[in-house]
Amino acid sequence: MNAREEYENWRQDPCFDEETRKELEAIAGDPKEIEERFYKNLEFGTAGLRGIIGAGTNRMNRYTVRKATQGLANYILGKGAQDKGVAIAFDSRHMSPEFAEETALTLAANGVKAYMFESLRPTPELSFAVRFLGCTAGVNITASHNPAEYNGYKVYWEDGAQITPPHDKGIMEEVNRIEAISQAKTMTRAEAEKAGLLTVIGKEVDDAYIEAIKKEVRHPELIKKYGKELKIVYTPLHGTGNLPVRRILAELGFENVTVVPEQELPDGDFPTVPYPNPEADEAFVLGLALAEKTGADLVLATDPDADRLGVRVRDSKGVYHTLTGNMSGSLLADYEIGQKKALGVLGDDAVLISTIVSTNMAAAIAKDYGIRFVEVLTGFKYIGQQILSFETEGKGSYAFGFEESYGCLIGEYARDKDAVSASMALAEAAAYYRDKGMTLWDAMVALYDRLGYYVEDVVSITMPGKEGIENIGRMMASLRENPPMAFGDLKVTAIRDYRKDCIRDFVTQTERTTGLPSSDVLYFELEEEAWVCVRPSGTEPKIKLYCGARGRDEADAAARLAALKEALKSLA
C-alpha cells in the first residue's frame, strides 16, 4: 500500500481506537503530513525504535510499540526463554508509562513474563535490573535527549547491554515478519496480573542498584573528609535522575547538593530547555546561575533517562569551565584507572574501551598506564559487548569505558552508560583532588600537560523527513565514490570504510580490514594526529561530522581544530 492507502486503512480499521482515528481525521487535508506519517514503517533498528509520537506507521504510538513487542516476544519464544521474563522501564516523556504497559501486556499475552517498574527509572537501572532479575531481555521506553515530541523503545539482552549481533538482526527479522498491527497480541492488565505474567518492581531493585554503585567508590575516607564542604549543583532536566543521583550522593556523604528547582520535577514538555541535552549550553543556564549564587564547585546535568552526564567545573579563580564528554570521560578514565593501579586492583589484563568517534586521548591514557586499548563502533552497546567477551573468553578485564556522547560506565554492575555513577565518581574525584590542593579543572589541565592537548568537536546537519534520509544517503555515497584526500592543509593518510570493512593506508600503500561490524561510517586519518569521521546519526535525522586534533598547548590545539572545522564546510 502507498501512504494514502495506509492512511485510509488506519482511519477505517476497527482495531485502531477512536482517539487515533480522530487524530488522523484532523490531517485529512494535509497530504504532506499524511506522506510523512505513512510513507514507511517506523524502522526497528539495531537498538529498537525512535520517532515522533503520533498516529501512523512512521510514528511512535501504542500500535507500533505492540508490533515491535510482538516481534521481540516471537524471538524470545523461539529461544525458549519466556520464563526468564523481560524487565521494562520508562522515562518522563509523554506516553512513556502507556508504552511501557503496552509492552508488558503484549509480552504477557504471548506467555512472556514482564517485570515493569512502578514509576520512571534511569536507563542504567534497567540495564542493571535485567542482570539482577536474571531476565532474558529488557525494554526501556525513552528517547534519551531528543526533543519533547519524540519517544523511543530500546531493547536489551540478558547481559544487560543493548542488543548486538546476532540478537539485533534476529529480533529485527521477527518484527519485519509482522505485516499487520492486528497480528500483535495483547490482553488486559487484570488478566496479565491474574496469570502471574506481570509483576511490578521498584524498591528492591532500587536498593540493589544503589548498593552496586557504592561498591565502585575508591576513597570513602576522602568523601567523609570533604563531603560536607564540596558544593554541588545538580539538575535532572525534568527527567529520571533526580531521585537516584541525590540518593547516592547523600548516602555517601555529599551533604551540600542543591537541585535546580525549576528543573527538578519530571515533565515531558521539558519547559526550561529547547531540548533536554546536557551537551547543550542551554541546559546549564539555570544551573550555572544557581552555581554562581552558591559558589558551587561542580555543576552536573543528566539527560531525561540519566545515562548521559554534562559537567561544568569551577577553577580556583571562580570561573566555570565546560567539560565535554571527551573531557569528562578522559578525566574519569585517568582517575579510575590511576586509583585502581595505586590500590593494587588493576588487573594485569586491564582494558580501556572507547569508540571510534571519541578522543584519541583515550588511547594515550591506556598507553600511559601500560594497559590495552580497544576501540569499538559508536554506541555503548559495543562497549558492553566487549565486557561480555572478556567474561566468556576469560581474556581481558574491564577497567573503564566511555564515549564522546557524555557517557561512561564505572564497574560492571550494568552494561550501559550511567550518569548516576558518573555523578558519584566525579564528586569523589573532586574530593580526591581537593585533598591535593587541586580543583577538577586543575586535574584536567594536568592531564593535558601530561599527555598532550587533544581537542574534538562535532558538526551535526539536520535533514528531517523522507527527503532528508535520501539526502544523507546521497552524501555518504558521494564521499565513498570521491573521498577528499585532504582537509585544509592536512593530507589524508588513511581512510577507514566501516561499511566495506576496509582500511586504505596511503602511507604504506596497503589495505586491511577494520575488524569491526559493518556500519555506515567513514573515518579519515590525517597528518599530525588529526582525524575526521562522518556518520549518519542512529537516533536522529542528522548526519554527523566529527573531528579531532592534538596541539602543543591549548591555543595551538584550538587553532588546529578551528582550521579543521573550517575545512569540514566543504562536505556540507
Domain CATH number, residue 527? 3.30.310.50
Residues 6+ apart with CB under 8 A from 116: 87, 88, 89, 100, 101, 103, 104, 198, 199, 200, 201
Model confidence pLDDT, tens digit, residues 293-318: 999 999 999 999 999 999 999 999 99
Residue 264 lies in a domain: yes
- 220 shares a domain with 190: no
| Dist. CA 449–CA 231, nearest whole Å | 27
pLDDT of residue 539: 65
Model confidence pLDDT, tens digit, residues 186-197: 999 999 999 999
- 465 shares a domain with 435: no
Mean of the per-residue pLDDT values for the chain? 95
Instruction: Give 46's pLDDT tier (boundaries 50, 70, 90).
Output: confident
Question: Using an 8 Å Cβ cutoff, are 431 and 341 in contact?
Answer: no
- 413 shares a domain with 264: yes
What 3-state class would DSSP assign to 116? strand
What 3-state class would DSSP assign to 23? helix
* Short-list 259, 354, 250, 333, CA closest to 302: 259
pLDDT of residue 45: 79
pLDDT of residue 102: 98
Selecting among 96, 144, 405, 519, the annotated active-site residue is: 144
| Dist. CA 2–CA 13, nearest whole Å | 16
Q: What is the DSSP letter of 395?
A: -
> For residue 468, how many other CB atoms are within 10 A of its CB?
15
Residue 511 lies in a domain: yes
Question: Using an 8 Å Cβ cutoff, are 141 and 153 in contact?
Answer: yes
Instruction: Give 340's pLDDT tier (boundaries 50, 70, 90).
Output: very high
- 509 shares a domain with 430: no
Q: Provide mean pLDDT across the span 489-517.
A: 96
- 372 shares a domain with 294: yes
- 433 shares a domain with 340: yes
- 447 shares a domain with 457: no
Cis upstream peptide for 271 (omega within 30°): no
- 225 shares a domain with 114: no
Please report the sign of the dihedral spanned by the C-alpha atoms of residue 93, residue 97, residue 100, residue 102.
negative
pLDDT of residue 220: 98
Residues 6+ apart with CB under 8 A from 408: 309, 328, 329, 332, 333, 400, 401, 402, 417, 418, 422
Question: Using an 8 Å Cβ cutoff, are 450 and 365 in contact?
Answer: no
Residue 534 has pLDDT above 80, yes or no: yes
- 135 shares a domain with 121: yes
pLDDT of residue 149: 96
524 or 146, which is more confident:
524
- 186 shares a domain with 50: yes
Model confidence pLDDT, tens digit, residues 197-234: 999 999 999 999 999 999 999 999 999 999 999 999 99
- 353 shares a domain with 471: no
Q: Is 144 a catalytic residue?
A: yes
| Dist. CA 256–CA 249, nearest whole Å | 9
Residue 281 lies in a domain: yes
Model confidence pLDDT, tens digit, residues 539-555: 677 899 999 999 999 99
| Dist. CA 72–CA 176, nearest whole Å | 11
**How many domains in the chain?**
3
What 3-state class would DSSP assign to 510? strand
pLDDT of residue 116: 98
Residue 483 grid cell: 573521498
Residue 23 lies in a domain: no
* Short-list 234, 273, 259, CA closest to 148: 273
- Residue 250 lies in domain: 210-451
Name residue 89's beta-bridge partners. 140
CA angle at 406 for the pair 352 and 212, rounded to the nearest 5°: 65
Of 172, 197, 222, the residue that ends a domain is: 197
pLDDT of residue 348: 92
pLDDT of residue 96: 98
* Short-list 226, 243, 217, CA closest to 298: 226
Of 197, 223, 243, the residue that ends a domain is: 197
pLDDT of residue 437: 98
Residue 217 grid cell: 567508590
Give rounded-to-5 percent helix, strand, coil for the chain. Answer: 40, 20, 35
User: For the stretch 177-194, what's the b/e string if a residue is b when 16 or more beta carbons lie within 10 angstroms of its beta carbon?
Assistant: ebeebeebbbbeeeebee
Question: Using an 8 Å Cβ cutoff, are 253 and 223 in contact?
Answer: yes
Residue 496 lies in a domain: yes
- 368 shares a domain with 224: yes
Residue 554 lies in a domain: yes
Residue 492 has pLDDT above 80, yes or no: yes
Q: What percent of the chain has pLDDT over 90?
A: 91
pTM for the whole structure: 0.94
Question: Using an 8 Å Cβ cutoff, are 472 and 465 in contact?
Answer: no
Name residue 53's beta-bridge partners. 60
Residue 357 has pLDDT above 90, yes or no: yes
Query: Cell 586504505 sits at which residue?
Result: 504
Of 197, 218, 233, the residue that ends a domain is: 197
Residue 466 has pLDDT above 80, yes or no: no
Cα separations in angstroms, 102 against 1, 9, 67, 88, 268: 26, 22, 10, 11, 19
Q: Provide mean pLDDT across the span 358-370.
A: 98
pLDDT of residue 180: 87
Residue 132 lies in a domain: yes
Q: Provide mean pLDDT across the span 423-449.
A: 98
What backbone phi and psi angles, to 5 degrees, belong to 452? 115, 155
Residue 13 lies in a domain: no
| Dist. CA 359–CA 454, nearest whole Å | 7
pLDDT of residue 179: 87
Q: Please give, one letter per residue, the 3-state secondary structure of 287-354.
A: HHHHHHHHCCCEEEEECCCCCCEEEEEECCCCCEEEECHHHHHHHHHHHHHHHHHHCCCCCCCEEEEE
Model confidence pLDDT, tens digit, residues 154-181: 999 999 999 998 999 999 999 999 988 8
pLDDT of residue 465: 78
Q: Provide mean pLDDT across the span 355-363.
A: 97
Residue 44 has pLDDT above 90, yes or no: no
Name residue 545's beta-bridge partners. 459, 534
* Maximal CA-CA distance, the chain: 70
Q: Provide mean pLDDT across the span 345-368.
A: 97
CATH number at residue 123: 3.40.120.10
Residue 486 has pLDDT above 70, yes or no: yes
Q: What percent of the chain has pLDDT over 70?
A: 99
